[in-house]
Amino acid sequence: MADLDSTVAAKDYGLGTPQTVPASPVKGSDQLDFGMRHRLGRIFAQDGRTVMLAFDHGYFQGPTRGLERVDLSVVPLAPWADALMATRGIMRTVVPAASDNALVLRASGGPSVLKELSDERVAMDVTDAVRIDAAAVAVQVFIGGEHETQSVHNMTQLVDAGLAVGIPVVGVTAVGRELTRDARYLGLATRIIAELGAQIVKTYYCDENFAHVTAACPVPVIMAGGKKLPVLDALTMAWRAVDQGASGVDMGRNIFQRQHPAAMIQAVRSIVHDGVDPDEAAEIYADLSGGASD
Ligand code: 5RP
């Protein structure tokens, strides 16, 4: 027969211990609503950092090099990414719905490479992001660009729509050719994006005072990769960005345009999550790729 007395006595109401929940590891997110925090927790690991793999380039560039067949080139890299950033077209056709990566949906678009790139609009309804189970939506913001106000408005529209359903917004600093990627410009752009409500900011690394950019941004800054660089340079840039306060990286071409993309994403991951330095990470790339230098 069950020992009811001891069962009752074994109950523990934790009297005297105040109820708590752990603080969020994601910068600036402690006062957000539950769904928003839950989604941010899918993008950022417990260390507060993320390896996001960007392959949304087709939304204005078409089948750029390395992305001719996303199913062949990028999908096999998913196990080493915390988050995947793509358009809804690629999500629905190529990214396996069974994937357990956080999904970041490209939500702005309009002009192709043949036109003025800053002339974007919001390119999807947030209800579709809910249907896709997106962890965030991403929008370009062209501070100083020809269509600056329109692009800021695109972002604030998405921030309002995202707040209504608990989906965070990644504001991407889109730097026009005529603008200098220095700490002054990037500090201006990232701060405007965060002030106007984005929960994550993606921006480029700059050699001087990148720490000032991350310090002055009240939400996580993730580093954009940019054009393909030599392996060690790309890894050094990622290491420096994280060392100076970035909450991870959102890299595309520096991963998927390599001879050995799987080796590169593992090398990047070792920097972001394991604190490996760039030389060691380059060795990881060399080991996993059988000695490749590119
Ligand atoms: C387009 C984007 C892209 O997602 C991202 O910047 C491309 O990644 P990478 O520059 O590392 O190839 O936001 O502007």
Query: Hey, which bits of 68-156 come out as E strands?
Result: 83-86, 102-106, 108-109, 121-122, 136-141
> Which residue segments constitute the domains of the chain, with CATH numbers given?
28-230 (3.20.20.70)
Buried b (16+ CB within 10 A) or exposed e, 233-272: ebbbbbbbbbebbbbbbbbbbbbbbbebbebbbbbbbbbb
The residues annotated with a catalytic role in the active site are 202
Atom of ligand 1 nearest to the CA of 251: 11
- Only one residue has tokens 């529209």, namely 157
Distance CA 217, CA 195 (A): 9
Distance CA 13, CA 32 (A): 28
* Per-residue model confidence (pLDDT) at position 35: 98
Q: Name the closest-CA residue to atom 4, ligand 1.
A: 54
Residue 48's closest CA among 273, 293, 231, 276? Answer: 273
Which residues sit opposite 200 in a β-bridge?
170
∠ CA(240), CA(243), CA(247), 5° rounding? Answer: 105
| Of 50, 53, 55, 56, best ligand 1 pocket probe by most atoms within 8 Å of the beta carbon | 56
* Per-residue model confidence (pLDDT) at position 177: 76
| Of 175, 250, 264, 268, best ligand 1 pocket probe by most atoms within 8 Å of the beta carbon | 250
Task: Please state, as a whole number, how many other Cβ atoms lie within 10 Å of the Cβ of residue 294.
Answer: 12
Distance CA 294, CA 258 (A): 6
Give the pair of three-digit tokens for residue 62.
């078409």
Query: Hey, which bits of the chain come out as E strands?
Result: 50-54, 83-86, 102-106, 108-109, 121-122, 136-141, 169-173, 200-203, 221-224, 248-251
Atom of ligand 1 nearest to the CA of 228: 12
Pocket of ligand 1 (CB under 6 A): 54, 56-57, 85, 140, 172, 174, 224-226, 251-254
* Per-residue model confidence (pLDDT) at position 4: 55
In the DSSP assignment, the letter for residue 75 is: G
* Per-residue model confidence (pLDDT) at position 175: 82
Q: If the chain, 294 residues long, is cut into consecutive pieces of 10 residues, what is the mean pLDDT of each piece?
A: 61 96 96 98 98 98 97 98 98 97 97 94 97 98 96 98 98 87 96 98 98 98 97 98 98 98 98 98 98 88
